[in-house]
Every structure is written in C-alpha cells, then in structure tokens.
Amino acid sequence: MRTRIKICGLTREVDVDAAVAAGVDAIGLVLYAHSPRAVSLERAAVLARRLPAFVTPVALFVNATRAEVEAACAALPAVLLQFHGDEMPTDCASYGRPYVRAARMTRGFDLLDFARQYADAQGLVLDAHVQGYGGGGKVFDWSLVPHGVPHRLVLSGGLNAVNVTDGMVKVRPWAVDVSSGVESAKGIKDAAAIRRFCQVVREADARIAAHAPTS
C-alpha cells in the first residue's frame, strides 16, 4: 500500500509547486480566518489552479457558514471538503460533496462511535486536541487509535520527517497530513523539508511492505 501524502496550510505558489514536484497527493487550503495559514477563497482558487491532474485541493473549514462552503464548492470544482470544527454529520453530508472529518484525539474520546456518526465521510483526520482547532503542531498519543475503525485514517498532528515513520508503523494510516513539520515559518513551507518528508514516507512504505506477512 502507498500512503497518501497531504501538505496542509499552503499560502504561496512556490510552495504549491514544491509540493507537486515532491509527489504529494493533496494540498490543504485553510479557509478559516483565525488561522495563521488562512487564505481567502480568491487566493485559494489561484493556488488550486496550479495543481495538475490527480493532485487534490482540500478546503479546510472550521464552523463555516453554509454560504461560505457553497462558495468554495463553486470556486474549486475538484475540491475535497475538510471539516475541522463542530460540524454535525448532517452538516457535512448536506453539500453532496466528498468530505473528510477531523477527530480531535484525547484520552476518553470514542473514535469508533465518532466514525459511526460520520459514516459517509471519505476519511477521518486524526489530530491532536489543542486549544482552538488544529494547527498546533502537537503530536497526540498514537496508542489511542483503536483497531477496526471503519474508515480511511489520515494521521495528522505534529508530524515531521523524524517521527512520521513511527506514526505510520503504529497507526498504519491511509494517508499522512503535515503542515508545521515542513515549514520555515507559519504558512511558509520549506521545499527541502517537503521533499525529505515525502522521501521518508516512501521509505516507510517500503519498510512496512517488507515486513508484511505473505499468504
């Protein structure tokens, strides 16, 4: 299995180009004004137009209005929606678009029940429970992830080239999502760090495959 890679919080054309050149599967555009990595919808559309086929733009929302989400769907035709606030299952599903839902991992949080509530999500983004809504660069306790979650899992929260292999081995996610771990400053990505992160993920894939049981 090839672990998918998403680089989140992109704000500059040069960073989009670096992510694409490194072989990422998706980029995240933060449409949440209180984030230091926020971009306007107009800016998000400009950045998304640089993407080649098969690289997905992901729009991140935190308790956005319906009008804001609908405007993003219109401006970004190929967009995948990512809900990172307090959105209910009916809210997320009401746009008729594929979406992923963030789960704020902490001790006592029932991920299996959460997954059942968001049964039609394309995946669950597992992030640290921090003040505010994500983007804190904090790693959560990966042992909190139970077996048998009926969703594709996206491992997030404080990942970087040093710790992503350990996270992949322990969680076996479908995808990994990095932001601060490939930055030189908030919202400013480092091309070399992006390349290194992607390289480490591919090496971890090979390591996991080499140790997989054969039938």
Alpha carbon 3 to chain centroid, angstroms: 12
Could you list the active site residues?
8, 127
How far apart, in Å, do the first and last CA atoms of the chain sit? 16
Query: Amino acid identity, residue 73?
Result: C
Instruction: State the pairing for strand pair 175-178/4-8.
Output: parallel
Residue 43 in contact with residue 65, Cβ under 8 Å? no
**Cα 93 from Cα 129, distance rounded (Å):** 23
